[in-house]
Amino acid sequence: MYLDPKLVDGNILARFEQANSIIKLAGEQALEYFKNRDHLIVETKMDPQDVVSIADRNVETTIVEGLQAQFSDDGFLGEEQGGIQGSNKFLWVIDPIDGTACFLNGMHSWCISIALMIGDEIAFGLILDPNSNELFSAIAGRGCFVNNKQVYTLSAKTVADGVMGVGTSHRVETAMCTGFLEQLLDQGGMFIRNGSGALMLAYVASGRLIGYYEPHINSWDCLAGLIMVNEAGGWTAPFLQGEGLLKGNPILVSSMGLKESVIAMSGL
C-alpha cells in the first residue's frame, strides 16, 4: 500500500514540492471562506449529514489547476470533481475540505488533504490545518513531520494509555461503530470524534491520539493520513483492497503496541 522508499525519485520530490506550495495557497483560500461562511451556498448530498459548499468546489479547483499547471499528464481523484484520467502512473487524491459540516458551523475541525499515488501505492501525503497553521507531511521512507519537525506515534500498550479517535458513517450499520465503542470503554479507554477523519489520522501520526477507527471512510479522506501514521512508526490496516480507492473501506490505525487489541475490537 506504500511506495518502496527506494523508488522515491526526482519526479516524486518535484510533485511534493509543488503540492506543498499549492496546499498553502488552498489553505489561505479556504480560511477566507471560513471567515465568511455565512455567505456560502450550501448543498446536501444523498446523506443529509453530507454537505458541500462552493468553498469545497473552489478550493478543489485551486488545487487541481495548480498541480495540472506543472503535471498535466497526471490523474486526479477528488471528492467534489470525481476522477480525471491521466496518461501516466501518477494519481492525486484530494479532499479540499475534510470536515465540511464543522467548517460550515464555525468549528475548527477541518483540513485540506492531498495524497499522491503511484499505481496502487501511496508515495506521499500532506494535510494542512489552516486554523492552527500546522502542515503535516510524509514521504515514503522519510518520516512524518509537522511544520518540518519530525513526529512519532505514541508508545501506548493498552487503550487506557491515551485517547482513541472514532468516526461514524451512515453508510454502514450503527453496530459497527457502537460495538467498537463498547469494547473500548469496557477496557478503560476514552474516545473523541472531531468531524475530520484526515485530521484525526494526522493526530495519530503526531502522537496526540493512540489510534483511529471508522467503519467506512472514503480514500480522499484518509490516504494522506495513512502514510503519515506508517511513517511515524504506527500500524495501519490494509485499506485499498477491493474497491477501496473508489468506494471506500473501514479504516483502522494505531500505535504499534495496540495492533492486536484494536484488531480484536474492530473485528477486521
Instruction: Tell me how far apart the alpha carbons of residues 215 and 255 are, in angstroms, rounded to a whole number.
Output: 18
How large is the average pLDDT for residues 201-227? 97
pLDDT for residue 48: 47
Pick from 185, 208, 63: which is nearest to 128 by CA? Answer: 63
pTM for this one? 0.94
pLDDT for residue 42: 74
State the helix-helix crossing angle for 54-68 and 10-35, rounded to 10 degrees: 150
DSSP letter assigned to residue 38? G
pLDDT-derived band of residue 251, with 50, 70 and 90 as boundaries? very high
Domains of the chain: 5-150 (3.30.540.10), 159-266 (3.40.190.80)
Instruction: Tell me how far apart the alpha carbons of residues 135 and 214 are, in angstroms, rounded to a whole number.
Output: 23
Question: Which carries the bigger pLDDT value, residue 54 or residue 230?
Answer: 230
Instruction: Tell me how far apart the alpha carbons of residues 123 and 115 are, in angstroms, rounded to a whole number.
Output: 8
pLDDT-derived band of residue 175, with 50, 70 and 90 as boundaries? confident
Instruction: Tell me how far apart the alpha carbons of residues 103 and 34 are, in angstroms, rounded to a whole number.
Output: 7
Instruction: Tell me how far apart the alpha carbons of residues 181 and 179 are, in angstroms, rounded to a whole number.
Output: 5
pLDDT for residue 156: 96
pLDDT in tens, 177-204: 999 999 999 999 999 999 999 999 999 9
